[in-house]
Amino acid sequence: MKLTDIWKTSQVPTVSFELFPARSEKAAEKLEKTIDELVALKPDFVSVTFGAGGSTREGSRQLIEKLKDGEGLEVIGYFAGYGLGPEDILAVLDSYQAIGVENILVVRGDPPHEGGFTPHPESLPYASDLMAFVRPRYDFCLGVAGYPEGHIDAPSKEKDIEYLKLKVDLGAEYIITNYCYDNQFFFDFLERCQAAGIDVPVLPGVMPIYSVKMMETLASLCGATITDEIRQGIDALPEGDKEALLSFGIEFAVQQCGELIEAGVPGLHLYTMDRSESSVAIVNRLRSEGLL
């Protein structure tokens, strides 16, 4: 089912999770357990990422198939087109279409960190270029990424919204945002979208706090602000107590999600980092409080 139809028929905000393909046997075993525990929550859909430069191309398709056919889940296939030529783009999307994928998230993607990668000379440099290429050729329900604090490469938040509006005008039907720890960034982003005439569903991304190192690394990569409230809360925890940190992160996310739900968001998209404990606890708390 297309996401736009899910949101039209859902009586409560949707719950969804992001997963990424395992890159080792140990990670694959961990992912199997994570999937089992997340599937038990009966999410409305899940998303599967696509590695930089197509690095997880086969793994992403296999994971999508497993989730769709093995678990009966609706799946969003990410498509990060950075560096890929037209033939590769068509091959990936044809393979997704062949296994029944109806929803695609079109993103530029990042350059591969490993050396030696050379972009195809006919590659499309921006997500808007990908949208213009993909939309006339496929009937997918296409979505794009949004950045409440502005994309890290954008010259300004205003310019970032211009680019987002262009992607919607080219056929994007929904937006999934990068996470932020202060909901005011998201609410301000919605106001900028509305002022620009963007009227598609905007789904907030939520990133639980898993570890201080991961929090700092991810924030530096995407430009997310780590608020004083979070820093002070973490400083008050017993040093090195991983369980206390995880509990703090869960409690913070529950409060954040509750505020987003009260504001009328269409759903919540949790970035699991292929872990289940925090997401399970967050969703169960929200459901026990009648918010989901």
Look up residue 124 and give its two tokens. Answer: 């499309």
Helix axes 127-134, 86-98, angle to 10 degrees: 60
Chunk the chain into consecutive blocks of 10 residues (it has 292) and report each block's average pLDDT, rounded to whole numbers: 95 96 91 97 95 70 95 94 89 95 92 71 90 97 97 94 98 98 98 98 98 97 96 96 97 98 98 97 97 94
171 contacts 142 by C-beta, under 8 angstroms = yes
Q: Distance between CA atoms of 223 and 269, rounded to whole angstroms?
A: 19
For residue 99 the two structure tokens come to: 């296994």
Q: Which residues participate in catalysis according to the annotation?
A: 18
pLDDT computed for residue 55 by the predictor: 59
- The pTM is what? 0.95
Helix (H) or strand (E) holding 76: strand 75-80
Q: What is the DSSP letter of 53?
A: G
How far apart are alpha carbons 78 and 122 in whole angstroms? Answer: 21
SS3 (DSSP) at 132: helix
Which pLDDT score is estimated for 81? 83
User: In this structure, what token pair is assigned to residue 3?
Assistant: 């996401």
pLDDT tens for residues 172-186?
999 999 999 999 999
Cα–Cα distance for residue pair 216/229, rounded to 1 Å: 15
Q: Residues 15-45: pLDDT tens digits?
A: 999 999 998 999 999 999 999 999 999 999 9
> Which pLDDT does position 200 carry in this prediction?
98
Residue 111: the pLDDT is: 73
Q: Which of 68, 147, 137 shows the shortest CA–CA distance to 107? A: 147
Q: For residues 95 and 134, is the Cβ–Cβ distance under 8 A?
A: no
Beta strands 205-206 and 75-80, pairing class: unpaired
Partners of 19 in the beta sheet?
A: 48
pLDDT score at 114: 64
Phi, psi of 141 (to 5 degrees): -80, 105
The reported pLDDT for the residue numbered 58 is: 84
* pLDDT, position 80: 87
pLDDT for 39 equals 97
Domains of the chain from N-terminus onward = 3-288 (3.20.20.220)
% of the chain exceeding 70 in pLDDT: 96
In angstroms, the Cα distances linking 17 to 61, 176, 238 are 17, 12, 30
